[in-house]
Amino acid sequence: MTGVYEITPIGRVESPLLERGMAPRQGDEGAPDAWLAFEPRVRDGLQDVRAGQELLVLTWLDRATREVLTVRPRGEGDRPLTGVFSTRSPDRPNPIGLHRVRVLEVDGLRVKVGDLEALDGTPIVDVKPVLGQVNER
Amino acid sequence: MTGVYEITPIGRVESPLLERGMAPRQGDEGAPDAWLAFEPRVRDGLQDVRAGQELLVLTWLDRATREVLTVRPRGEGDRPLTGVFSTRSPDRPNPIGLHRVRVLEVDGLRVKVGDLEALDGTPIVDVKPVLGQVNER
């Protein structure tokens, strides 16, 4: 029942955030702009990404701890221990980060985005559009 | 630069949707209710999941094709070929599915959710809360 699947990064984050202590909890809490640097092999998949769009960036939070199942939300010691699936803690069995960002600039395989709380070097695993209403899809 | 990361499923989807031809494009386009059946080892991570909550379920779309970089959106032949990172196609380099659902019922390791377009047997890889406003986190 529990096969294992392999994720191969499609790129990396380039950010001034170098370690967890520097990062805000979420992108809309004061995160800096960052560059997404994609691998040449996924170039065709990026061909419709444009400045001004909102995207969901999925990352592999490679500095997270995978053995954790309960945390105190936002690292605040006075909050009760909470199941990780009810929090956005990076520490969780499969540490996939989900980041909603706006595209600021596209330069070939490099995409500049606003307000990204992921650390420098974080692997990018997928990018998706934000879905509009059903009749706009 | 391109290490590989291993995803170990935390559960499986139980759904009446047995193959891709049966599934709607998105959960809000007529998808059925489904059960999320979790592994016993992640029980503590689920302890705060309750009926009525909205959750993001992340899956591994194990019947997708990973070599595809451009698709016609929604499988409609009159749409232009589009980079997969600008679509929600299941076919993409790392086929992670992102599903926003409402919890209908919790029965131990089994969680019933509404409007899930994932196929029966699809591996679940993560669950996250929908984020509220900054001052509600």
Nearest to A106 by CA among A51, A32, A44: A51
Q: Which of A19-23, A89-93, B107-111 has the lowest average pLDDT? A: A19-23
Residues of chain A with Cβ-Cβ distance to B86 below 8 Å are 47-49, 53, 129
Average pLDDT over residues B46-74: 95
Q: Which of A50, A33, A13 is closest to A115 using CA atoms?
A: A33
C-alpha pair distances (Å), A114 with each of A37, A42, A118, A128, B16 = 14, 22, 11, 16, 40
Give chain A's mean pLDDT: 93
Identify all chain B residues contacting A43, using CB atoms and an 8 Å cutoff.
Answer: 69
Q: Does A58 touch chain B (CB under 8 A)?
A: yes
Q: Count Cβ atoms below 10 Å from residue B98 Cβ, excluding itself.
A: 18
The reported pTM is 0.94
What percent of chain B is predicted at pLDDT more than 70?
A: 96
Other CB atoms within 10 A of residue A103 CB: 18
- Give A31-59 pLDDT, tens digit per residue: 999 999 999 999 999 999 999 999 999 99
The half-sphere exposure of B40 on its side-chain side, counting CA atoms within 13 A, is 0
CA-based diameter of chain B, in Å? 48
Q: Which pLDDT score is estimated for B112?
A: 98
List the single best residue of B5, B26, B71 to mutate versus A (max A Cβ within 10 A): B5
State residue B1's pLDDT score: 47
Q: Is the ipTM of this complex over 0.90?
A: yes
Selecting from A49, A86, A123 the residue whose C-beta is nearest the C-beta of B129 gives A86
β-bridge pairing B96-107 and B54-60: antiparallel
Q: Give per-residue pLDDT as tens, B95-110.
A: 999 999 999 999 999 9
